[in-house]
Amino acid sequence: MKKSRIILAITVCVMLLSVEMPLQAQRFANRVFDEVSVVHGILFNRAEDVAGVMKDLRADFYEPYHDTMARRPMVITVFGGGFVAGSRDYADMVAIADTLAHHGFVVASIDYRLVPALSISPANMMRGAYMATQDVSAAIRFFKAKSDHYGIDTTAIFLLGNSAGSIASLYAVFMKDDERPAEAYLGGDLGMLDDSGLDISRGHTSRVAGLVDQWGGVSDIEVIDADETTPVCMIHGTNDKTVPYTYGNSGIYAIVSPKLYGSYSIAHRMDSLGMTNYELHPFEGEPHAFYFGPRFKIIPDKLDACLRITIDFLCRHLPE
């Protein structure tokens, strides 16, 4: 593993929305650390992809440099890429992790198994999404097991996903083992949601304190049940053609992917069940992953808007 320090690396100025929050959250509402330390390449899972190739799955761990707090809230970030592409090194993943660490959170930016190009099919896309969900679970449980080493408050672990990463994160929060998709049993049973992971992760749960879903969705809206209480913050452009804000085909993957229920439909489902543990932030007229401009260059004010919402949500859901 390689260790490095980021000094004033990718800086996004975050101003907190005016809200009431727990006293300890005041530390996390503002940028209070000048430097961030990063440990690269922490192995948290080893598992076969849909082609049967064994993959080492790793995480980059960001923390405030010279932090004296013994137990810090954690955010696990999950990149997007349609389950066929993507990396924890994406510019937005680095910028989000760096910003949150400057605010006092610790962050793990994680890998998950991708579907190889030659293995893309409708069944494998569903299997790949399920494997990604297992990998998110494995990461949660790994960092709970290593909480003493990394200084993590296990009651304050959050997920933040983008696109496909949000789909996997939504399923990690809402899916139960008896709600696994039929494809999880095809070509060999992939096992239960918490079956994947290193031995050290066994016995730990994948429950989290909250989820920030950026332009994600689900293919089966009925996995969301009234008894599920994990707080969810949804950020979504209303003109998203990749993961529809409402319901529809999944953009360029329409031929091989199922239709998806986007954030509006998820909110409607939760309303119909009498659930109040969510917030929806629609961005009118914005497309998919709207903080990216041409050539995937980040648009700072749009990323900043998402980060303001994110940090506000995290601070309001920290344990007392």
For 194, phi then psi, to 5°, come to -100, 15
Torsion sign, CA atoms 262, 264, 269, 274: positive
The rounded distance, in Å, linking the Cα atoms of 270 and 197 is 31
pLDDT given at position 7: 32
pLDDT given at position 252: 62
Question: In terms of DSSP bridges, do strands 278-283 and 232-237 run parallel, antiparallel, or are they unpaired?
Answer: parallel
The rounded distance, in Å, linking the Cα atoms of 67 and 136 is 26
Written as six digits, the tokens of 297 are 């260059």
pLDDT given at position 12: 36
pLDDT given at position 188: 86
In order, the DSSP letters of the chain are: -EEEEEES-S-------S----GGGHHHHS---SEEEEEEEEEEEEEE-TTS-EEEEEEEEEEETT---SSEEEEEEE--STTTS--TTSHHHHHHHHHHHHTT-EEEEE------GGG--HHHHHHHHHHHHHHHHHHHHHHHHTHHHHTEEEEEEEEEEETHHHHHHHHHHH--GGG--GGGGTTS----TTS-S-GGGTT-----SEEEEES--BS-GGG--TT----EEEEEETT-TTTTSSEE--GGGTTTS--EE-HHHHHHHHHHTT--SEEEEEETT--TTTTB-GGG-B-HHHHHHHHHHHHHHHHHTS--
pLDDT given at position 24: 61
Rounded (10°) CA dihedral 92, 98, 76, 21: -110
The rounded distance, in Å, linking the Cα atoms of 310 and 77 is 12
Give the CATH number of the domain where residue 143 resides.
Answer: 3.40.50.1820
> Can you give the residue range of the structural domain that contains 220?
2-316
Residue closest to 307 by CA, chosen among 56, 75, 2: 75
Residue closest to 314 by CA, chosen among 285, 276, 282, 279: 279
Count of structural domains within the chain: 1
Which residues, given as ranges, of the chain have pLDDT below 70?
1-25, 252-255
> How many other C-beta atoms can be found within 10 angstroms of the C-beta atom of residue 4?
12
